[in-house]
């Protein structure tokens, strides 16, 4: 069984099913297509499926041309009918793993996906989970469900965990050249996992178990979260001393050893760093382990939108204006430059806090012409990007360092600008830092 699967994966005759066609799933699908596989894309969002089948990419930094070509060639199809996985040799789950309202792991998308495909599984398939989660998820949630359907993991079905590593908009790293960690439930599972990813990714790094692979992903993003929290805290300490944290970081970065630059901002964004640390803190409580350092970093990072709003009130007060009824334009909704990815963007929290204090908020983002529906900020859905021009705004808040904003001359703006990313040079009375 394993040998047949490995052979199909190795000679690229296997049909790859990817469940979840978002910022992780769609680039992965295109990579498998690029090297010659056939790919079945499954997503519960009919509008995504319709766009893909018409040859259109709905992610700005992913071109439509390849999608159109693969659809026309008959090597790629997208569906919402999960029964089609019966034809697939490999099933890769790339679905969201958010936090719930109590900051506890929400595995509903993962569980719903595995339960939806369960009736259509067959012997000789490999199932890979890529969604970020806590150690033990693959063993505790996926394996029992698969075996309850009458399969033996490691003999009939091969189960692995291989955490996604995507950096949307990064021109230097992509699905192919970012090394991929993979852990299997059994040695046979790991062998099948290496065959699954070895054809499309330059370097596959095997680890001893799915729990280890799950922990690797958390380690990577907790490392970033803690270090970002450190520079955010240092920023708030240096500011009253009239020290520019960005100048400090630039100078410290000249040290050729023992230092790695991290940068402060208005809060954390993206699907990983604001969420992943809390997956570990939740799981650690099961073992009576207190993860105080991680939790403190989370508190600091989630407090940054409040700090920005406080600074906004101080800047307006210096101009002789109250925050209430002031017109504020936020520059940037996406969580990072040059992409249309606004997941967990701190800009939304800043807008919400400003409006609660009576400010009249607008936003501009060249990558997000209209705010899309989301679970957390559905009340902003449909709001459109305002023109970036001298239009009587009392304050501008730079939240995302898009290239377009780097060309802005703050002196030509009607009001002062609050720079949370350190892209503008000092200009007393016109440029303020947050």
Pull the structure tokens for residue 295: 């939790």
Evaluate whether 305 touches 335 at the Cβ level (below 8 Å).
Answer: no
Q: Are strands 76-79 and 38-42 parallel, antiparallel or unpaired?
A: parallel
* Separation of alpha carbons 32 and 30, rounded Å: 5
Pull the structure tokens for residue 268: 């954390």
* Separation of alpha carbons 161 and 138, rounded Å: 7
Backbone angles phi, psi at 294, to 5 degrees: -65, -45
Evaluate whether 56 touches 33 at the Cβ level (below 8 Å).
Answer: no
**272: annotated active-site residue:** yes
Residues 6+ apart with CB under 8 A from 92: 16, 17, 18, 19, 25, 28, 128, 130, 196
Closest CA to 20 of 103, 125, 110, 124: 110
Pull the structure tokens for residue 102: 């109590």
List, in sequence order, every residue forming a beta bridge with 331; answer none if it has no partner: 364, 398
Coil, strand or helix at 70: helix
Q: Could you report how far apart the first and last alpha carbons of the chain are, in Å?
A: 59
* Separation of alpha carbons 189 and 58, rounded Å: 34
Pull the structure tokens for residue 33: 């297509």
- Cα 49 to its chain centre, rounded Å, is 21
Coil, strand or helix at 217: helix
Reduced DSSP (H G I as helix, E B as strand, rest coil) percent helix, strand, coil of the chain, to 5: 40, 15, 45
H-helix segments, 149-289: 187-198, 210-238, 245-252, 276-285
Of the residues 182, 189, 272, 399, only one is catalytic, namely 272
Residues 6+ apart with CB under 8 A from 275: 97, 98, 99, 132, 344
* Separation of alpha carbons 5 and 7, rounded Å: 5
Report the catalytic residues.
272
């Amino acid at each position: 069984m394993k040998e047949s699967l490995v052979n199909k994966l190795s000679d690229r005759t296997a049909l790859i099913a990817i469940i979840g066609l978002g910022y992780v799933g769609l680039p992965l699908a295109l990579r498998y297509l690029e090297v010659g596989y056939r790919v079945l894309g499954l997503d519960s969002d009919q509008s995504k499926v319709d766009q893909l089948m018409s040859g259109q990419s709905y992610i700005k930094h992913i071109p439509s041309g390849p999608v159109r070509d693969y659809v026309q060639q008959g090597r790629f199809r997208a569906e919402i009918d999960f029964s089609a996985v019966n034809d697939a040799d490999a099933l890769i789950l790339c679905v969201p793993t958010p936090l719930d309202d109590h900051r506890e792991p929400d595995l509903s998308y993962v569980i719903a996906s595995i339960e939806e495909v369960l009736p259509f599984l067959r012997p000789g398939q490999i199932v890979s989970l890529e969604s970020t989660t806590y150690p033990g998820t693959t063993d505790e949630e996926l394996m029992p469900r698969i075996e309850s359907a009458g399969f033996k993991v490691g003999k009939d079905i091969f189960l692995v965990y291989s955490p996604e590593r995507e950096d949307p908009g990064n021109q230097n790293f992509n699905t192919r050249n970012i090394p991929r960690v993979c852990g299997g439930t059994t040695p046979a599972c790991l062998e099948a996992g290496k065959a699954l990813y070895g054809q499309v990714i330059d370097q596959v790094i095997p680890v001893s178990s799915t729990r280890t692979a799950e922990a690797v992903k958390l380690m990577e993003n907790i490392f970033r979260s803690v270090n970002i929290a450190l520079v955010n805290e240092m920023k708030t300490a240096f500011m009253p001393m009239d020290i520019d944290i960005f100048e400090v970081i630039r100078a410290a970065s000249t040290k050729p050893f023992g230092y790695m630059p991290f940068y402060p901002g208005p809060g954390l964004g993206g699907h990983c760093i604001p969420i992943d640390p809390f997956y570990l803190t939740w799981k650690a409580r099961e073992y009576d382990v207190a993860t105080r350092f991680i939790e403190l970093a989370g508190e600091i990072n989630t407090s940054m939108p409040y700090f920005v709003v406080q600074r906004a009130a101080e800047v307006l007060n210096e101009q002789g204006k109250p925050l209430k009824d002031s017109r504020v334009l936020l520059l940037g909704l996406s969580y990072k430059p040059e992409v249309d990815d606004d997941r967990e963007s701190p800009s939304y929290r800043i807008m919400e806090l400003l409006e609660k204090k009576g400010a009249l908020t607008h936003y501009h983002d060249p990558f997000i012409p209209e705010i899309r529906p989301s679970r957390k900020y559905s009340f902003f859905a449909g709001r459109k990007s305002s023109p970036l021009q001298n239009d009587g705004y009392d304050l501008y808040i730079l939240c995302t360092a898009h290239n377009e904003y780097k060309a802005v001359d703050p002196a030509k703006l009607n009001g002062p600008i609050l720079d949370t990313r350190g892209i503008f040079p000092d200009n007393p009375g016109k440029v303020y830092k947050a």
